[in-house]
Amino acid sequence: MGVLQTEYDFSLPMGYVDETGTLHKEGKMRLATAADEILPMKDPRVQGNPAYLTVILLSKVVTGLGDLKMITPKVIEGLFAGDFAYLQEMYTRINQNGSNSIKTVCPKCEHKFEIEVQLQGE
């Protein structure tokens, strides 16, 4: 039996620039829990703007980014649009597939194998 991978490394295409001008690109994202997806629905920012749900979700599941001590909604708001889209895609992929890879089969010999999915910018 395999061990369930619950945390995944990533490298942002552009990177987050903090208030001191430091660039942060390398990070980690964990699998989401049911509470991660349900509890933000009570947040007034989400009730006022449902699109804000993604900001809160990502601030919970991104467990590290460069040298930052905490990943807050403000950090996620400060991402470049391309990096935000990158993290949304990764969130969907790891939480729906349970991995950062896809299973495939060789069309000639029918050997089954997995390949790690690389997003643009990785």
Q: What is the pLDDT of residue 114?
A: 60
CA–CA gap between residue 65 and residue 29 (Å, rounded): 9
Residue-wise pLDDT for 53-75, tens only, equals: 999 999 999 999 999 999 999 99
CA distances from 4 to 54, 82, 92, 117 (A): 24, 29, 17, 18
Domain spans of the chain?
7-116
pTM: 0.77
